[in-house]
Amino acid sequence: MRAAQIVGYGEPLRVGEVPDPAPEPDGVVVALLATGICRSDWHGWRGDWGWLGGRIDLPRTPGHEIAGEVVATGPDVRAVHVGDRVTVPFHLACGLCERCRAGQANLCDAMEVLGFWRDGGYAEYVRIPHADFNCVRIPDGVTALTASAIGCRYMTAFHAVDGRGRVRPGEWVAVHGAGGVGLSCVQIAAAAGASVVAVDIDPAKLVLAEQQGAVHTVDAGAGQDVPALVREMTGGGAHVSIDALGVRATVVNSVRSLRKRGRHVQVGLTGAEDAGEIALPIDLITLGELTVVGSHGNPHTGYPRLLSLIESGRLAPQSLVRRTVSLDRAGDVLATMDDFATSGLTVIDRFRA
């Protein structure tokens, strides 16, 4: 099969022929129809996240936002069949540990991240373990492109807004960073009946945020006092503020944008500059009785609700896809992420030249 592999951190991807995968006893092989190019892929390509134990071994085929058709199954697979169209959570889970049994598979004790700890979807085929647990059938009314758009950024945003942020109609939500996750948060929060303020340094991304339902935007460039502007626009501060980027400025601005008893949701993981450590305004958190929560991926149990909202048309992840490319162009897209030059979602939908 044809695959694009990381062979050196920050170096051009190697695109060429590699052996076809075979299913594990409890796994399947999926022929890819669409694979998203995520900023997490960029972090892996850059060799980040060593402080998390997440620096990938090389060579590695990245890609964790996938949609495709099952073409082979292992002998122990019972619920997934050849011909099924499926997607998977990027956090592949065992289905057996305490967290999985509690409906928290996004926190699985034996988690494997697709495209990081095992080869992923920048390829014609991908091998998925524990298929009966990890494979999520794509409804007939949902395209492969839409399903790949759900893969990481959108489902992560859904859990951040719906699960961890507990956003309710009539609340104010501030979203810091209008990349793929941030724009997804804007759309989902607006659909939930919240009023959204989007924050970014790129005016073009703020236009996209308005198109996804933001009622106000803040250009964070040129030394703007972002928390003060958010508090002014929201009449005292956001009820929920989401950091979708993971840099010091956006994390602190998000916390400072809250009203009393507000909820900060941390979605973005840090880069090499901060390496997982960012100081918080702890006295403000204490005196305002603020809540700070992390949000990682989306539990497997959250997929039925997410997919039903997409099928009904209330949510439209496909509207965030700005560009489709061939496998050969994946490395070029990663390189443009160095300076945050991409917008919306980019999806690989052609795997062989």
- CA–CA dist 6, 18 (Å, integer): 13
Q: Report yes or no: 239 and 262 within 8 Å, Cβ to Cβ.
A: yes
Looking at residue 344, its pLDDT comes to: 79
| Backbone phi, psi, residue 182, to 5° | -60, -45
Q: What is the mean pLDDT of residues 195-206?
A: 96
Is the pLDDT at 135 greater than 90? The verdict is yes
Range from 30-34, 45-49, 176-180 carrying the lowest mean pLDDT:
45-49
Q: Cα 84 to chain center, whole Å? A: 24
Looking at residue 53, its pLDDT comes to: 72
Regarding whether 18 and 137 lie in a shared domain, the answer is yes
Q: What is the mean pLDDT of residues 246-264?
A: 97
DSSP annotation string for 254-278: HHHTEEEEEEEEE-PPP-TTTTT--
The amino acid at 189: A
Q: What is the mean pLDDT of residues 330-352?
A: 88
Looking at residue 51, its pLDDT comes to: 76
pTM: 0.92
Confidence band of 352 (pLDDT split at 50, 70, 90): confident
Regarding whether 90 and 6 lie in a shared domain, the answer is yes
Regarding whether 202 and 96 lie in a shared domain, the answer is no
Q: Is residue 342 situated within a structural domain?
A: yes
Is the pLDDT at 340 greater than 80? The verdict is no
Residue (of 118, 107, 93) closest to 29 by Cα position: 118
Mean pLDDT of the chain: 94
Q: Report yes or no: 271 and 250 within 8 Å, Cβ to Cβ.
A: no
Residue 278 half-sphere exposure, CB side, CA atoms within 13 Å? 23
Looking at residue 270, its pLDDT comes to: 87
Q: Write out the residue range of the structural domain in which residue 261 sits.
A: 166-294
Residue (of 27, 49, 48) closest to 135 by Cα position: 27
Q: What is the mean pLDDT of residues 161-181?
A: 96
196: left (phi > 0), else alpha (psi -120 to 50), else beta?
beta
Q: Which of 294, 309, 333 is the last residue of a domain?
A: 294
Regarding whether 312 and 187 lie in a shared domain, the answer is no
Looking at residue 342, its pLDDT comes to: 74
Q: What are the pLDDT digits (tens) for 285-299?
A: 999 999 999 999 999
Is the pLDDT at 80 greater than 90? The verdict is yes
Q: Is residue 250 situated within a structural domain?
A: yes
Regarding whether 321 and 264 lie in a shared domain, the answer is no
CA distance to 168, 317, 353, per residue, from 333 (Å): 36, 20, 17
Most distant CA atoms of the chain, gap in Å: 60
Q: Which of 279, 294, 309 is the last residue of a domain?
A: 294
- CA–CA dist 153, 194 (Å, integer): 20
The residue to which tokens 């990938």 are assigned:
56
Q: Is residue 8 situated within a structural domain?
A: yes
Looking at residue 275, its pLDDT comes to: 84
Is the pLDDT at 242 greater than 90? The verdict is yes
